[in-house]
Amino acid sequence: MSSEAVIAQKAPYAVDVEEGETYYWCSCGRSKKQPFCDGSHEGTSMRPVAFTAEKSEKVYLCGCKKTNNQPFCDGAHNDL
């Protein structure tokens, strides 16, 4: 299995997060529970990115997996 990320979608995922909760963003693009990890990276060198919400709010998580600000969208999908 390739260790290159698959583009899940060419737009961010708008997600409501809760302060203090830890989330695991899918970095490989293979998860069926986008934008979160479901273990589909097994067999690759990729791993999910854990982050803890600093406050309860809507965040925009990268869907194209090309961001330089993992797990957050930085607009990289605009260049695909």
Count of domains for the chain: 1
Confidence of residue 4 (pLDDT cuts 50, 70, 90): confident
Q: What would the pLDDT profile of 32-66 be if each residue is shown by its tens digit?
A: 999 999 999 999 999 999 999 999 999 999 999 99
Report the pLDDT averaged over residues 2-27.
95
pLDDT of amino acid 3? 77
Structural domain boundaries, residue 16: 1-80
Rg (CA), the chain: 12
Cα separation of 58 and 45, whole Å?
A: 30
Extract the tokens encoding 80.
Answer: 């695909």
Confidence of residue 67 (pLDDT cuts 50, 70, 90): very high
